[in-house]
Structure 1
């Protein structure tokens, strides 16, 4: 009989359908009782006799998997796979699935919101008002800005679609594969990352975390950027070197940043001491509709596995190619 461990937090709070699916399968399941992201050791200690893991962003390492001899499926709630050791999963015969489409609408909309917030110093004005200080801040508008987008996958493309409505002065795109169909307007063009660094007023990141993107933006890249550049990261922690980001913000090279993701979460670092760094708690996908869709899709995938049906959201082979 299958046993299902659900580690993602939250789960089933806004929509009971994932719970109803599990109940209909007559399987034993347990939902994360700690109520937060698990550490590697915490997950290792509780996973030993489960056959299916419905997972969040906790580290699913070889050590964890080797302590789970019955584990057959990791059904990831979300799109990121940097927390799953895919090579070990492949070596140990554990299938991995994810929900790549569900988070995109919510993450892209939050990205636009964060852009506007730092462009107009909304977070600083809010803090000032709560402290009893009436200060008005000069801001900037999209029509006067060159926006750089690094990563044009599901989320990056949606961000581009939203930005088209703001009539940006120019939008620069960079990715491994250039899709020229999405750069048909004369103010949108494909360039290399170095051109984005040196020409953009605001840079937004939408790429996965892997060996080639870890600390992609460090001191060298920040030095290439315009003075008073703005940065937004709603993709993955670890893509921007957090120490160099802090230094850039503290020295004024970077005017402001909006960061939703961190190398270690929950985040307790120095960026929280800077007014010009808007930080949020990895909440890009946290809208009721997108979060519910992610949970339902991950649970439905677990149900297919239990019924012996073909997985519809299995991680594609190209994700394993560089392992």
Structure 2
């Protein structure tokens, strides 16, 4: 039985040795030889004799699975499942697991950090200082503003708790297809329709899976509803925001700024790299030492359960298969 570890990085957290667990179980493994996100053709070339894939965000398509007749488990390191053709996996008897809770704390903290960066121009000041230019930016405080949270699941709830704990005067507007009203009552959330959220928020932050419903959710139309002074943050999935429409809004002054951690195509080198008020990070929401270690450990635990013939702990639930068909 051979394991391909396509996700990168893997096993790089200090004092954390997931590869040692595989070695102790006498499981053969191969690391991603490219040290970056694989393309579909690259994965096809690597997967032909693989039984278990420890996966990142690379495309795991029907073509990939057809090239892997021995594949029986896809252990996704992370929460997003838009890169996995779940129905194709089910048809081939391939089990799929994921680690939905592990990344959430790091993603939520990065999101709030990006809010402060946008409001106070921290990144812009840093870049200018490194170019030996002194410029003091006049910004706004987060406390007292209105934050619109689109998607109130694992990450969205953590963002709201951080805001409530540190910035008690923030007004929080929220939208979710299944509102948790008891959570909303506890945290003082106003549940609103999306259009009202766009129009009234100083910051719109996205915490949604990428599905057929959420693909291109934020286009020129939605951006046009937002205040010219507003900011948008996406730490969820590329594809939810129309990057071309965002670039146009930022360059024309229809939107004050944005912070984008996820992109349609990664690694990213598109038009947003030329736009100053757009903070760009390289899909690093989950990249804190503790959360990354937890993600790798949880994925690996299910791999070892599979090898032993034990029940899987974190199989992808049926609702995710249903959502993927929409």
Structure 1-normalised TM-score?
A: 0.98
SS at match of 2:143: helix
Counterpart in 1 of 2:269? 268
For 1:117 and 1:210, how far apart are their aligned partners in 2? 29
Deviation at residue 24 of structure 1 after TM alignment: 1.4
Q: Which stretch shows the higher mean deviation, 42-51 or 123-132?
A: 123-132
Counterpart in 1 of 2:197? 196
Deviation at residue 187 of structure 1 after TM alignment: 5.0
Counterpart in 1 of 2:86? 86
Matched, 1:167 2:168: yes
Counterpart in 2 of 1:143? 143
Deviation at residue 123 of structure 1 after TM alignment: 1.0
Moved beyond 3 Å, runs of 4+: none
Counterpart in 1 of 2:242? 241
* Residues matched between the structures, number: 322
Show the 5 A alignment for 1:152-231: 152-165=152-165, 166-184=167-185, 187-231=188-232
SS at match of 2:293: helix
Equivalent pair of 2:228/2:255 in contact (CA under 8 Å): yes
Deviation at residue 141 of structure 1 after TM alignment: 1.2
Unaligned segments of structure 1, at least 5 residues: none
Equivalent pair of 1:201/1:226 in contact (CA under 8 Å): yes
Deviation at residue 90 of structure 1 after TM alignment: 0.8
Deviation at residue 302 of structure 1 after TM alignment: 0.4
Structure 1 residues 3 and 132: CA distance shift in structure 2, 3 A: same
Deviation at residue 186 of structure 1 after TM alignment: 8.2
Unaligned segments of structure 2, at least 5 residues: none
SS at match of 1:278: strand
Deviation at residue 185 of structure 1 after TM alignment: 5.8
Q: Superposition RMSD on alpha carbons, in Å?
A: 1.1
Structure 1 residues 3 and 186: CA distance shift in structure 2, 3 A: closer
Deviation at residue 143 of structure 1 after TM alignment: 2.4
Structure 2-normalised TM-score?
A: 0.97
Counterpart in 2 of 1:64? 64
Equivalent pair of 2:77/2:296 in contact (CA under 8 Å): yes
SS at match of 2:241: coil
Q: Which stretch shows the higher mean deviation, 8-17 or 301-310?
A: 8-17
Equivalent pair of 1:146/1:168 in contact (CA under 8 Å): no
Equivalent pair of 1:142/1:167 in contact (CA under 8 Å): no
Counterpart in 2 of 1:122? 122
Q: Which stretch shows the higher mean deviation, 227-236 or 161-170?
A: 161-170
Equivalent pair of 1:17/1:296 in contact (CA under 8 Å): no
For 2:145 and 2:16, how far apart are their aligned partners in 1? 43
